[in-house]
Every structure is written in C-alpha cells, then in structure tokens.
Amino acid sequence: MKSIGVGLVGSGFMGKAHALAWNAVKPVFGDVPDVRLVHLADAAEDLARRKADEFGFERASGDWRRVVADPDVDVVSITTPNRFHREMAQAALAAGKHIWCEKPMSPSLADSELMLASARTSGKVAVLGYNYIQNPVIRHIRSLLDEAVIGRVNHVRIEMDEDFLADPDAPFQQRHEASNGWGALDDFGVHPLSLVLTLFGPPARVMCDMAKPYPTRRTPEGERAVEVFDIATILMRLHSGASGIVTVSRTAWGRKGRIAIQIFGGSGSILYDQERMNEFQLYLTADRATEQGFRTILTAPHHRPYDRFVPTAGHGLGFNDLKVIECRQLIGRIGGEAALAIDFEDGILIERAVDAAARSFREGRWVEIG
C-alpha cells in the first residue's frame, strides 16, 4: 500500500493514544505507507469535530457507523468502552476494514468468540491493543527465556496495581457496572495475561478469587451497589508445568501503573516493574559467588526498536511510544509481515483464561482452560 486511511472511534485517553501513534509511526519507523487520518467519531458531534481538529482528522461524525462505512477508511481504531467492542468490530470487519481494537475483546466470552468468527470470515487483520508486550524490555526478556539464560522456569508472578479506585468516598462510575465485565479481572487482568501469553504461552488451568473492598458507592440519588470486583488473584499452572500467580487491584493506594513481573528459573531470575519501564533486573547463578546479585540493565539502542526513538542508552521510552511500536506491528501485519501482536486468534486465549478464572471463582475450584 502507498497509503493507509485511518478511522478512529472514541477520542478519550486511548483514542488520543491511537491518534498519536498514527501520527508518529511514519516519522519513527519510516518504512510504512503514508498515513491519512480520515474520519473520527465520538458520541457527540461537537466533541468529534473538536477532537478531529486537535488530532488532525479530515472528517468528524457523531455516529461511528459513518466511520465504518467511509470508503476512504482502510483500518478502524476502536477505543470505546469494552461493551461496545463486539458490535463495532463486527461492523468494521463486515465492511472490509482492518481493525485495531483496544483490549479486552469484550466483556463476555460469547461475544469475543463472535468477534473472532467475524475476523476469520472477513480475512482482515484484527489486532488488540496490548501495548505493554511491545516494550523493548519485554521483547528482550522473551529472548532471554528462549535462550534459557535462567534455566527452566519454575514460577512466574505478575502483579498489576493502580489506585484510581482506591478512595472509598469516590462516587459510583461506569466502571462499577456489570455491563463492562467482572471488573479488575478483565479490565486489568488481561494485561498480565497478555504478558504470560507472550512470554510463556497460555495457562493450562486456573483458580481465582475476587474481592470487592467497597461494596457500595455514592450517587446523587444515594448509595448504589458496586456490581464488579476491584481485586482479583489467579493461581495458574502453565503447560510447561511451571506455577504462576497473577494478582490485580484497582484500589492499591500509591500504585500508579505497576506491572511487576518476577520470573524464577533453575539458574537465575528476572525482575521487571512497569513503573520503571526502561530497566529490568537479572540474577544469574553462573556469576561468581562473590559477585552474585541482581544487576540492573537499562534499555539501549541494541534493545530494538528502542533505537528508532533514541540513539543513546538510558533515556527511556514511554507509554505512547509503545503504542507507536504496536501501530507499526499492525501495519506490518496488514502488509503480510510476521509481527509481534496479539490478534483475535491470540486474544481469544486471554478471554478464555478470564472466563475460566470467573468460573473458578463462582464454583470455588480449579478450572481447565479449553
């Protein structure tokens, strides 16, 4: 393709992240078609027009269906709340568009399976917005695991914590509604599960517990029951036999964007924390006993594609840079390249793990993942 026409549905935080990525992917990577920002839609026409001007889109609409129907749009970015993903993704695929849909696929496994079926029928590329796997650190950790630098992995532990729902006096909001899924399990848990999938493959079986620290929230009309769970913990068994834990919380005071990974192997360990996203720690038993200890390794140009952004080590990338990398992987996939991306075929594995965890919580037992 000489150029690629982009449609964007939703102009909030993630919509802006997608717009920034589309605007930056050509200057950063160079080896992609020209990007044309064609059509932006949001719930209100005036908001859509204002954001289209800010982001650089040619047209704006208060109806997302106009974006899907626009003949100049080749790929649609879907950045709306989770409950709208299924309808929008299926419509875009039926219209012959590629899609870049934010995670998770949808609040229900049944709807996610329908999305996968639509992608298969359409033959179009359908990629999910799991940008944390694009961090050069995560890519390098995967290469270390492939090389068995720390030996056979026996345990992995991933914690994801933020505090945007930590205040017990904060009001009820849309995230507290059951229409958006289980809460932290699928809103947050899919990110650690995407890292598990990328580094180790999908888990084989899970056991889950969830908690609701604040069962009610205030509204102008009075107290309203919180319909979801803000804390979830998943015990895992990987297909390799390794054990694992994923624990997530949206009510963890002081944690802003923490995804802490600990990987323990027979001859070493690897540690990583998303709040320090440009470094990781490595411990190797092959070191002399007198110097054994965790070494901190900063990202540098040889941790590709860091080199596309910064020519020197230690300066660091950010959240939106990972979206640019993800955008480049999407374009590569559309062009027929092998690409590091979680498409619907991989994304359904995450959704099945979430569904199995939810069934485990309901039934109080280990659940095999089909």
pLDDT tens string 47-97:
999 999 999 999 999 999 999 999 999 999 999 999 999 999 999 999 999
CB 97 within 8 A of CB 73: yes
pLDDT band at 243 (very low <50, low <70, confident <90, very high): very high
Mean pLDDT of the chain: 97
pLDDT band at 1 (very low <50, low <70, confident <90, very high): confident
Whether the pLDDT of residue 180 is over 90: the answer is no
pLDDT band at 220 (very low <50, low <70, confident <90, very high): very high
The structural architecture, per CATH, of the domain 3-131 is: 3-Layer(aba) Sandwich (3.40)
CB 364 within 8 A of CB 204: no
Query: Order of strands across the sheet with 295-298?
Result: 295-298, 279-284, 268-273, 258-265, 153-161, 243-249, 231-238, 203-211, 367-368
Domain ranges of the chain: 3-131, 132-368
Nearest CA among 113, 91, 92 for reference residue 354: 113
Question: Is this model's pTM higher than 0.85 or not?
Answer: yes
| Domain over 132-368 is classified CATH 3.30.360.10 | yes
Whole-number pLDDT of residue 370: 79
